[in-house]
């Protein structure tokens, strides 16, 4: 005889696996270390200071 399968449990298991796969993909795509974030912020601040330093004064 075939095994009895609960469709409710099978559906929930499938949804859970899909969420886990999506979470793993998001960790790869969006995950950055603290050092990487700090480096990006420092580079952005430096660029803003350089741009502000080259602005002409308005009279």
Indicate the pTM of the whole model: 0.50
Residue 49 domain flag: yes
Residue 1 domain flag: no
For residue 59, pLDDT beyond 70: no
Torsion of CA 8, 14, 18, 21, to 10 degrees: 140
pLDDT above 90 covers what percent of the chain?
66
Nearest to residue 34, comparing CAs of 46, 42, 24, 44?
42
For residue 13, pLDDT beyond 90: yes
Overall domain count for the chain = 1
- Mean pLDDT (the chain) is 91
pLDDT tens for each residue of 20-39: 999 999 998 899 889 999 99
Residue 44 domain flag: yes
């Amino acid at each position: 005889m075939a095994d009895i399968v609960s469709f409710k449990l099978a559906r929930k298991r499938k949804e859970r696996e899909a969420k886990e796969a999506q979470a793993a993909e998001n960790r790869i795509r969006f995950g950055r270390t603290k050092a990487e974030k700090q480096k990006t912020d420092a580079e952005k601040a430096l660029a803003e200071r350089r741009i502000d330093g080259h602005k002409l004064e308005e009279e």
